[in-house]
Amino acid sequence: MNLPEKPFQYKMLIDGNWIESESKERYERKSPAHDVPVGEYPAATVEDVNNAVATAHRKFIEGQWPKMKGADRAKIIGRVGDLIRKNKEELGYIECLESGKPITQAIDEMVWAAGIWDYAATLPYHTYGDSYNTLGENMLAMTIREPLGVVGMITPWNFPLLIISQKLPFALAVGCTTVTKPAEITSGTTIKLHELLLQAGVPAGVANVVTGSGGVIGNCLSQHPDISMISFTGSTEVGKKVLQNAKSNVKKVELELGGKNPQLVFADCDFDAAVDAVVFGVFFNQGECCNSGSRLLIQDEIADEFVQAVIKKSKTVPIGDPLDPKTKVGAIVSESQFNTIMNYVKAGEKEGAELRLGGKQMITKTGRYIEPTIFDKVSPEMSIANDEIFGPVLSVLRFKTKEEAINIANDSIYGLSASVWTKDIDTAITLSRKLEAGTVWINTFMDGFPELCFGGYKESGLGRELGHFAVEEFTELKTILMHTGPRDYWWKQPEK
């Protein structure tokens, strides 16, 4: 694939209309791999956000989407999945250009996202409550689920289409209306997705998208009185600000935040499979992944041999132009993120960790690339063992016993995911129950299915995405209690 001759031109979607911002200002996104402009967007103002929210609120109160039969919403949501698959090459191309991720991976993500829409299309058939027929002869009750209202969605730059697809179809499935703010630097596929929503039959104004500064738009959405819920994916630091802002009207908040995810490898593991998973886990998407397996916890008796095997395999991973189908590791998304990663590399060396591989910028004509980097003999108190680096940097910590492994793994503010590598079923089950993580993989890493919920413990987030549990995030429960027959009076005036 070649670079575009000129940057793609995008507009915002409000009430079914493709519009510029009220200020008429626009901003440019350059490819992090090629340093050429690939997209231009409207810079939304607070007034634009207010207009989008007002539209979504009106469509929720007066429109047909929340009142529509579940079966009819299901058909529309299912069509979106089909359209994503039909347009996977274009969507993958845009995402590759804006994020720096490999083109083959980007197209695969489009297919994965389409599968999430397929699954979400089943949920309108299964959004229901309970009935209670055991409350007494004259009492009958039921609980019903109702859509929350307007949901504000704020998504990050690392998996733009995939992450909005973990939120938007579930909110639409239960009858909510939405305003989405994609990451400022990777907004293209989210805008294209909203084009597909209209093609599929989502009514105008039900799903709206605004582009621009997170400081302006994100703060406005999270404080807005007509937003009933914020669904945010991003850093823990910003997530805390969203939570603070949400107190303005006590809106519901769902947060998917950071991670410092351990892979616990025991001496009896499938050696080659575990090596491959460790390399994949830390270097996939350039390490710019909340689920990144950035901590390797390795049992002492195989540590030297295992680390050497990881280093050997890491040296063979193809790094380079993300438009090359052979590339496995692409460009770092921005200069700011590049500097953050390199500062952690310097910190690791200063703190006394042993740099076994990489740690340098690759010399290229354009873009920012970092060599796969591995630190061995890392101790738990080091910053590279605790902080989410969000780059291709692996920290290796060693342990002797299961108890020590659990203590090291859980000694973190994060609790998003973890994996356990062992052939011993007792070890696998024991650790999976004791690890403080929202997802625990056994003898695999970063596999997922739309049926399975996703989210974190501790400072990795609040609530869950995916699976039928997502229905709970976007609905309110209402109790309806009915009395039949004569009622016993609280006060009945005595007869004269």
Active site residue ranges: 256, 290
State the angle between helix axes of 103-120 and 70-86 in degrees (0 to 180), rounded to the nearest 10: 170
d(CA 244, CA 227): 15
Cα of 482 vs its chain's centroid, Å: 42
Contact predicate 264/419, CB 8 Å: yes
Q: Given the DSSP bridges, would you call strands 439-442 and 393-399 parallel, antiparallel or unpaired?
A: unpaired
Angle between helices 70-86 and 88-99 (to 10 degrees): 70
**Maximum separation of any 2 CA atoms in the chain, in Å:** 102
Q: How far apart are CA 162 and CA 186, in angstroms?
A: 12
Which tokens hold the place of 251? 């809106």
| Buried-state track 138-169, b at ≥16 Cβ within 10 A, e below 16 | eebeeeebebbbbbbbbbbbbbbbbbbbbbbb
